[in-house]
């Protein structure tokens, strides 16, 4: 009966797996098709905007208008044309991608998926046959009157051939072949556009070249990651196949471990499908890279300028708040070369310094680093209370809230990586002005001054506008806050670990002669990575609790940027448990759990979801006090939904609902707290011993809960372990940290 139940359970599991995987494949293909439709809609939208801007420009020309209105109309028309070219290329590439995806889906992924599932069903049929044969053998004690009947049963069992078992079923119920969907460029989109746009052809010119290079670089990085994924998945497949071969070579072991054998067969199917999917993904990426490279190579280095059918005019590209967040122009991060000529002043053609959105001057702009020593400039600037060092644009904008607010920061030219200094201000929105150096002085549009402090002070005290275009006036310098530290006040002494963004050091905060821990940020990181690094400091600086690691400040006057925190001498809780956990009393271990619960209750009251609570992310201080640390994945929200899948998610510590739906609340931290308790009482063992992340997730979904580790008191285990029905109720009606006492609450292991 046990073997029969195992087979029935496996059949149900395989059916569920089939539906999940089929939906996964179809959803993936659906997403690519949706992307094509989205690009087409964006194309339509850009065409409409271009036609409006073109009509407005022609109207002003017809009325013989001149001056600011005509210049603005020319600028709007140029911007619309640039955006159209970018979207045109995106549309062409999305059509290419969906065709490649469909080819791989119909020729590789889907056939492999169906073949694998058929093989799984045939394996189950073979197990049924083996079971029936075993049943027959062990019950064949018939009298002579029933020997014939017994023989008939035996013959019937012998006639079962798994390979032929589903032939009639497939003939009767197989679906019609999936026909290729034709994805073609809509010629109607460009029928009303004059110029050189062509269907299915990437438009390459000075304005689109940088965006395509950025797209190519992104694809090459994705291809490299996919190759690594493929190697890992092929290795996992080989391990499973070796295990199956070993079981099949020993029929006795196979019979005694029927459930294990079936699970390995199902695991092999899953691994094989993942390998096939990854190969298909890699092929698509390779073809897309090839397509873009061919276009770039064919054009060579001499990029033609875009023809916009308007008069030549000097324009500056400003930020477009209506720009879709996922468009290529937004992701590229670099405005286009021919658009970086500046408005010329009527009295002599002097250049404006108003740059948005990326603080990138044109090729003809005199860069600060060429003619001045940036270290000398930094030394002078660091004495100014309104100089905020290398604090990124996004962090700076949080400090500027009302008209007239301003500060100065250090930035880098995105193309040359040279140092430049930027005046950031708020005036009908956030504005950013590169402070230009030339003719022996610093300036915006007016007079030059020997130093940046003199320039800014004059601008502030005189109340004159920064640029004619922006009309911005400086009235309120934003002074550095107490948490903004000077880099010179931090002394690094000894490396104590590695973080996601750089090294972690033990050091001294000189003004208070305080021993501190210092997280550093590598200056080679991308803008997004630097934002994530500083996000941890921004979250942590709001909290003050004995069970939360204390924030001291952020040093961002220059590179490297550093987050400074209290130094907790005991180090990571996980390391402490592995060294000393077995020598701790049950009362001491329980106190550690209580400390963690108190810290998490505080975070919940602050609407902070930690998302990575585990022994490795807790510290042990004096008197074994536990402190919560590592807020790199934290979010200040009551509910947070992930948008980038399960990348870097700690599977074994994450609540099932977060893994299934990507939605996090403080209740997900409660689940992680149960795992943390298990770690504490196990002496720092890894949860779900002997299981991979995928296996642990599957077992938990099926109702599995870890047994108590050796020596765990029953009261503690009952604290976080429930029967299945109680566990189900808990997930449907959970109790947050702030409403449960330490005793009496139960948590699934």
Residues carrying an active site annotation? 612
Binding residues for ATP: 496-504, 519
| Cβ–Cβ < 8 Å for 202, 93 | yes
What pTM was estimated for this model as a whole?
Answer: 0.46
- Asked if pLDDT for residue 441 goes beyond 80, the answer is yes
Distance, in Å, from the CA atom of 200 to the CA atom of 601, rounded to the nearest integer, reads 57
Whether residue 357 is preceded by a cis peptide bond, meaning omega within 30 degrees of 0, is: yes
pLDDT for 348 = 35
Could you tell me which residues come within 8 angstroms of residue 184 by beta carbon, excluding any fewer than 6 positions away?
Answer: 95
Q: Who has greater pLDDT, 144 or 356?
A: 144
Which tokens in the block code for residue 458? 């004059």
Of residues 468, 428, 438, the one with CA closest to residue 342: 468
Q: Who has greater pLDDT, 602 or 536?
A: 602
Tens of pLDDT, residue by residue over 313-367, are 332 323 333 333 333 222 223 222 222 222 222 333 333 344 443 343 333 344 4
| Cβ–Cβ < 8 Å for 631, 501 | no
Token pair 């994705």: residue: 222
Q: Who has greater pLDDT, 144 or 567?
A: 567
Tens of pLDDT, residue by residue over 581-628, are 889 999 999 999 999 999 999 998 888 999 899 999 999 998 899 999
Distance, in Å, from the CA atom of 406 to the CA atom of 433, rounded to the nearest integer, reads 11
Q: Mean pLDDT across the stretch 86-91?
A: 88
pLDDT for 322 = 35
- DSSP3 helix / strand / coil % (the chain, rounded to 5): 55, 10, 35
pLDDT for 738 = 38
| Cβ–Cβ < 8 Å for 554, 534 | yes
Query: At 676, is the pLDDT very low, low, confident or very high (cuts 50, 70, 90)?
Result: very high
- Asked if pLDDT for residue 35 goes beyond 90, the answer is no
Q: Who has greater pLDDT, 265 or 749?
A: 265
Highest mean pLDDT among 165-174, 427-436, 478-487, 720-729: 427-436
H or E stretch including 651? Answer: none
Distance, in Å, from the CA atom of 311 to the CA atom of 499, rounded to the nearest integer, reads 54
CB-count burial class (<10 Å; 0-12, 13-18, 19+) for 645? exposed
Query: At 169, is the pLDDT very low, low, confident or very high (cuts 50, 70, 90)?
Result: confident
Q: Mean pLDDT across the stretch 430-451?
A: 87
pLDDT for 617 = 92
pLDDT for 375 = 60
| Cβ–Cβ < 8 Å for 255, 130 | yes
Going from the C-alpha of 515 to that of each of 241, 326, 491, 502, 558, the distances in angstroms are 53, 44, 10, 20, 22
Of residues 545, 560, 539, the one with CA closest to residue 612: 539
Going from the C-alpha of 218 to that of each of 104, 215, 328, 363, 598, the distances in angstroms are 21, 5, 11, 24, 43
Tens of pLDDT, residue by residue over 504-524, are 999 999 989 899 999 998 877
DSSP character at residue 322: T
Going from the C-alpha of 707 to that of each of 583, 599, 685, 723, the distances in angstroms are 21, 26, 13, 12
pLDDT for 306 = 52
What value does the mean pLDDT of the chain take?
Answer: 78
- Asked if pLDDT for residue 382 goes beyond 90, the answer is no
Which tokens in the block code for residue 97? 């991608």
Our measurement of the distance from residue 455's CA atom to the centroid of its chain's CA atoms, rounded to an integer in Å, reads: 41
Could you tell me which residues come within 8 angstroms of residue 556 by beta carbon, excluding any fewer than 6 positions away?
Answer: 388, 389, 390, 391, 484, 487, 534, 562
Of residues 50, 96, 301, the one with CA closest to residue 197: 50
| Cβ–Cβ < 8 Å for 498, 519 | no
Query: At 466, is the pLDDT very low, low, confident or very high (cuts 50, 70, 90)?
Result: very high
Q: Mean pLDDT across the stretch 264-279?
A: 87
pLDDT for 376 = 65
Which tokens in the block code for residue 21? 């995987």
Binding residues: 496-504, 519
Rg (CA), the chain: 33
Q: Who has greater pLDDT, 234 or 149?
A: 234
Tens of pLDDT, residue by residue over 476-485, are 999 888 888 8
- Asked if pLDDT for residue 311 goes beyond 90, the answer is no
Tens of pLDDT, residue by residue over 158-167, are 888 888 878 8
pLDDT for 267 = 85
| Cβ–Cβ < 8 Å for 260, 247 | yes
Distance, in Å, from the CA atom of 624 to the CA atom of 106, rounded to the nearest integer, reads 59
């Amino acid at each position: 009966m046990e073997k029969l139940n195992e087979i029935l359970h496996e059949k149900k599991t395989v059916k569920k797996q089939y539906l999940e995987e089929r939906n996964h494949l179809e959803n993936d293909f659906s997403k690519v098709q949706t992307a094509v439709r989205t690009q087409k809609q964006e194309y339509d939208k850009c065409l409409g905007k271009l036609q409006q801007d073109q009509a407005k420009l022609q109207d002003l020309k017809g009325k013989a208008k001149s001056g600011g209105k005509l210049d603005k109309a020319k600028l709007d028309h140029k911007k619309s044309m640039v955006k159209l070219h970018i979207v045109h290329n995106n549309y062409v590439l999305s059509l290419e991608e969906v065709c490649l995806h469909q080819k791989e889906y119909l020729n590789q992924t889907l056939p492999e998926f169906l073949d694998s599932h058929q093989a799984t069903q045939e394996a189950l049929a073979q197990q049924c046959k083996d079971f029936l044969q075993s049943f027959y053998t062990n019950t064949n004690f018939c009298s002579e009157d029933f020997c014939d009947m017994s023989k008939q049963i035996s013959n019937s069992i012998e006639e079962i051939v798994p390979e032929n078992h589903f032939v009639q079923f497939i003939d009767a119920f197989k679906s019609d072949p999936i026909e290729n969907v034709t994805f073609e460029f809509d010629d109607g989109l460009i029928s009303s556009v004059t110029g050189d746009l062509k269907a299915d052809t990437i438009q390459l010119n000075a304005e689109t070249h940088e965006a395509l290079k950025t797209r190519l670089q992104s694809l090459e990085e994705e291809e490299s990651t996919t190759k690594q994924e493929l190697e890992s998945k092929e290795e996992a497949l080989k391990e499973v196949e070796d295990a199956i071969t070993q079981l099949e070579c020993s029929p006795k072991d196979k019979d005694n471990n029927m459930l294990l054998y079936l699970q390995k067969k199902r695991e092999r199917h899953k691994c094989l499908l993942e390998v096939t999917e990854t190969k298909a993904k890699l092929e698509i990426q390779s073809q897309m890279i090839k397509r873009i490279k061919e276009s770039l190579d064919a054009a060579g280095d001499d990029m033609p300028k875009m023809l916009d059918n308007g008069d030549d005019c000097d324009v500056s590209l400003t930020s477009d708040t209506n720009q879709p967040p996922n468009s290529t122009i937004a992701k590229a991060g670099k405005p286009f070369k021919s658009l970086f000529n500046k408005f010329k002043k009527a009295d002599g053609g002097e250049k404006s310094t108003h740059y948005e959105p990326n603080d990138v001057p044109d090729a003809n702009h005199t860069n600060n680093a060429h003619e001045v020593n940036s270290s000398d400039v930094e030394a002078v600037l660091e004495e100014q209370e309104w100089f905020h060092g290398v604090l990124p644009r996004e962090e700076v904008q949080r400090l500027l809230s009302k008209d007239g607010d301003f500060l100065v920061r250090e930035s880098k030219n995105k193309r040359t990586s040279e140092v430049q200094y930027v005046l950031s201000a708020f005036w009908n929105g956030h504005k950013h002005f590169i402070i230009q150096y030339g003719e022996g002085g610093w300036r915006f549009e007016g007079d030059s001054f020997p130093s940046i402090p003199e320039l800014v002070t004059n601008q502030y005290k005189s109340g004159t506008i920064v640029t004619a275009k922006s009309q911005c006036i400086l009235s309120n310098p934003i002074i550095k806050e107490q948490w903004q530290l000077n880099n010179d006040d931090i002394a690094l002494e000894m490396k104590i670990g590695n973080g996601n963004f750089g090294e972690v050091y033990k050091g001294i905060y000189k003004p208070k002669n305080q021993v501190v821990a210092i997280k550093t940020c590598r200056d080679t990181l991308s803008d997004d990575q630097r934002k994530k690094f500083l996000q941890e400091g921004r979250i942590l600086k709001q909290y003050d609790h004995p069970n939360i690691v204390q924030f001291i400040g952020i040093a961002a006057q220059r590179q490297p940027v550093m987050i400074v925190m209290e130094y907790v001498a005991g180090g990571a809780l996980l390391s402490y448990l592995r060294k000393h956990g077995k020598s701790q009393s049950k009362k001491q271990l329980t106190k550690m759990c209580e400390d963690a619960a108190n810290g998490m209750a505080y975070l919940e009251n602050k609407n902070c979801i930690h998302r990575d609570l585990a022994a490795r992310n807790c510290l042990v201080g004096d008197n074994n006090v536990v402190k919560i640390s590592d807020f790199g994945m934290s979010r200040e929200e009551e509910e947070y939904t992930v948008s980038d899948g399960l990348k870097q998610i700690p599977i074994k510590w994450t609540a099932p609902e977060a893994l299934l739906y990507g939605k996090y609340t403080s209740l997900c931290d409660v689940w992680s707290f149960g795992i943390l308790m298990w770690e504490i009482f196990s002496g720092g063992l890894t949860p779900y011993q002997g299981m991979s992340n995928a296996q642990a997730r599957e077992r938990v979904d099926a109702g599995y809960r870890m047994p108590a580790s050796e020596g765990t008191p029953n009261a503690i285990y009952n604290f976080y372990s429930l029967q299945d029905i109680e566990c189900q109720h808990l997930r449907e009606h959970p109790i947050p940290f702030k409403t449960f006492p330490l005793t009496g609450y139960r948590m699934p292991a």
